[in-house]
Structures are given as structure tokens and as C-alpha cells.
């Protein structure tokens, strides 16, 4: 009898070629699949709440798969964490779910955070975990501009040309920008996102913060629905999939 399992996963995205399985087995999904097979001797199909790009981190990625092998939550969590060593992937929790649950389609909200370190000096200990921006940023201006992105809009301007979504129309539920010392965080929540949407928004808001764009520029380029008007896409290492709600 097949049992469906739900996992919450944390990983450092730097060593991996994104979440999705790759031909050279360099995706996070490949390492998880191998760990599951080493434990259960079964090849399973894994479904994830979202596909993170190369270099993007996760504190709360959610997946599901089905196993024939009899096990329990504790054994499965401990076994997979053991088989995943030494890779920077950790199974945070394991839960048995019914067959109606789907990691992607059952999700009602996804929470991402983009992290910036606002300092001139290069990063050492935090390298690969933040986007270092040397020029001081005007947080008030960034907050004011971000309000124009909340709600239901055509986000063509902030959509990757490689995006496979059927429609550019998405609804952003909230954007919160906070500063704690040198760290600036941009937290964005929505049911679903377009490819590179959060990084495109972060890159454009950075231009507002630097004073290169005025506070009305974000609304202007959003309404023009033109990808070429978007600011530079922020680098992947500052992006985190924080949590998925069901």
C-alpha cells in the first residue's frame, strides 16, 4: 500500500543547479531522490511547492511523494537526513498525509524573502547569503514604491522571458520591507509567482532605493507591461523560499 508523505525541507542553494532534477544530477531534487532510494530501495516521483533557481535558498520548501515501505515520521526524517550528508539539505519535518494533498496544487500561499546587505565592504562569512549593495538605500522610498505592486496586476514587466506560466496576471498579497542594521529584507507573499518575479521586483526596488528611479517609476513600468523596462534582476543568492501555507 502506498503512503503519501509531506516533507518540509531547508537547503543552501549555492552548490545546486536549482531545485529541479537535472541531467547531471545536480538539482536538490536529485539528491533527495537518491536519499529516498537509498532508504527504501524505491524510485519515487517528487512534487514540490515551487521550483527554486540555481543559487536560491529554502527555509521551508515543501514536497510530497509516495512510498511502499512501512516507516514512521521519525524514522523517515532521520534516515533521509543521514543519507543526505554531507550536502547542505535538511529534512525539518515529516508528516503522513492523505491522497488529496499535493505539495504544489494544495498550497494557498507562498512566502519569499529577499535579503540585502547594505555595506561597502565585501562579504566574507555571509558571502552567498545576501546581495551586497554598496550604495546607501532609501528604505522609505522603496516601501512607498512597493505599495503599487500589491494586489492583482499584469506582471509582464517583472516576468522572465523564460517563464512558462500561462498568464502574467498574479495577485501579491503583501510586501514588507524592513531594515535591521545593515540588513534589508523584502518579504513578499502570494498564492503563486511568475519565474524571476521576486528577483525582478527586488532589482527594481534597489534602483528606487539608490535614487536612480523616483518613487513613481515602479507603478509606471508595471502599467506599461514591458519586460525591457524592468530593472536588473537581483542575484539568486539573496532569495529564500521561507514558507508555504496549506
Give the separation between CA 138 and CA 143, rounded to whole angstroms. 9
- Which stretches of 1-144 are assigned E, i.e. beta strand? 3-11, 47-48, 57-67, 89-97, 109-117, 131-132
Residue among 49, 90, 194, 197 nearest 186 (CA)? 197
Give the separation between CA 19 and CA 21, rounded to whole angstroms. 7
Tell me how crowded residue 18 is: count the other CB atoms within 10 A of its CB. 18
24, 30, 53, 98: the active-site residue: 53
C-alpha cell at 176: 514588507
Residue among 149, 116, 144 nearest 132 (CA)? 116
Cβ distance 157 to 176 under 8 Å? no
245 catalytic per annotation: no
CA angle 137, 18, 188 (to 5 degrees): 40
Number of residues written out for the chain: 246
Cβ distance 194 to 160 under 8 Å? yes
Q: How far is CA 65 from CA 36, 85, 103, 124, 171, in A?
A: 10, 20, 9, 38, 29
Active site residues: 53
Amino acid at each position: 500500500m502506498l503512503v503519501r508523505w509531506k516533507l518540509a525541507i531547508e537547503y543552501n542553494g549555492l552548490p545546486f543547479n536549482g531545485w529541479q532534477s537535472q541531467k547531471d544530477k545536480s538539482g536538490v531534487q536529485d539528491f533527495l531522490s537518491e536519499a529516498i532510494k537509498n532508504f527504501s530501495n524505491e524510485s519515487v516521483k517528487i512534487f514540490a511547492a515551487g521550483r527554486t533557481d540555481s543559487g536560491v535558498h529554502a527555509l521551508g520548501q515543501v514536497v510530497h511523494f509516495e512510498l511502499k515501505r512501512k516507516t514512521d515520521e521519525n524514522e523517515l526524517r532521520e534516515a533521509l537526513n543521514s543519507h543526505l550528508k554531507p550536502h547542505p539539505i535538511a529534512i525539518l519535518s515529516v508528516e503522513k498525509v492523505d491522497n488529496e494533498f499535493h505539495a504544489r496544487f494544495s498550497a494557498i500561499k507562498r512566502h519569499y524573502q529577499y535579503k540585502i546587505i547594505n555595506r561597502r565592504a565585501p562579504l566574507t562569512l555571509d558571502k552567498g547569503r545576501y546581495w551586497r549593495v554598496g550604495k546607501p538605500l532609501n528604505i522609505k522610498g522603496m516601501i512607498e514604491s512597493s505599495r503599487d505592486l500589491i494586489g492583482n496586476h499584469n506582471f509582464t514587466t517583472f516576468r522572465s522571458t523564460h517563464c512558462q506560466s500561462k498568464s502574467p496576471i498574479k495577485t501579491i498579497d503583501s510586501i514588507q520591507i524592513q531594515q535591521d542594521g545593515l540588513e534589508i529584507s523584502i518579504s513578499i507573499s502570494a498564492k503563486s509567482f511568475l519565474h524571476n518575479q521576486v528577483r525582478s521586483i527586488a532589482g527594481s526596488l534597489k534602483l528606487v532605493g539608490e535614487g536612480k528611479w523616483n518613487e513613481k517609476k515602479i507603478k509606471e513600468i508595471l502599467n506599461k507591461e514591458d519586460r525591457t523596462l524592468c530593472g536588473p534582476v537581483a542575484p539568486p543568492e539573496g532569495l529564500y523560499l521561507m514558507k508555504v501555507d496549506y
